[in-house]
Structure 1
């Protein structure tokens, strides 16, 4: 019997296309809302910085990139007004990277826009089917924590436990 299933490579491409559809929709709306320079990697960096800030070394670890690559991201986001560097209150020799109000605004708007995009998918697929899709993806991804090291992984960093 001939299989009517699509070839195996179709699944990752569809998942990637779904990701791109959501992220492209996000960035089109962010541009309309005053963040035209925001790029997909910026969201990963801002999330990895965390609400309390972090060092460039730790940021690199969280993103799965070198300290130098993390520093380039910080420099770009600092220039765009999304991050700032400040003295570490625990160690005056270190600098912390922190989100600015603009960086926090970008993440808040992103969350709201993703909610709207999800609603659009629920309208297209049906709310129950979308929830089932999310549940099923959680099962096949072993329900692990959401990871922020995508920039390093995409750049060819170690496979780790991906």
Structure 2
């Protein structure tokens, strides 16, 4: 009888400890890491909407919707700077939700091979020329680069297609057409 009581006490104590530890970690994650980062993100000029950040061991992923006038590099840099404490040594992965715009998507799809080649061979200066040759007169092309990414924006009247391409070769496989 006494052994059964000890076993039940140990089991209940273990369950309560697990709940407190995991609950405390979840509360910390939400209120100390994600909430301040979400607030910082929404203050960045050009962001229309942002989903909750998703954090793992190596990356901090954030899905955002940008206005057509947003400067992609400035948005990325602002989030990196304002979220530096919360992101830590993780890589910021900004996933831009792009609407489907046939003309912009066509330019992007036609240029993907040449852009992938330029990224692989590190001849980044060819990217603006490739895009401008394939774009019509109504489509504006904006490209920028920093030490970790190439930022591409194609604009067509009131719409924009934003792409962030990592300058690390092994990450090239994660590009999508959307």
- What's the TM-score, normalizing by structure 1? 0.25
Q: Higher Cα Rg: structure 1 or 2?
A: 2
Which protein has greater RCO, CA pairs closer than 8 Å, 6+ apart?
1
Higher helix share: 1
- What's the TM-score, normalizing by structure 2? 0.23
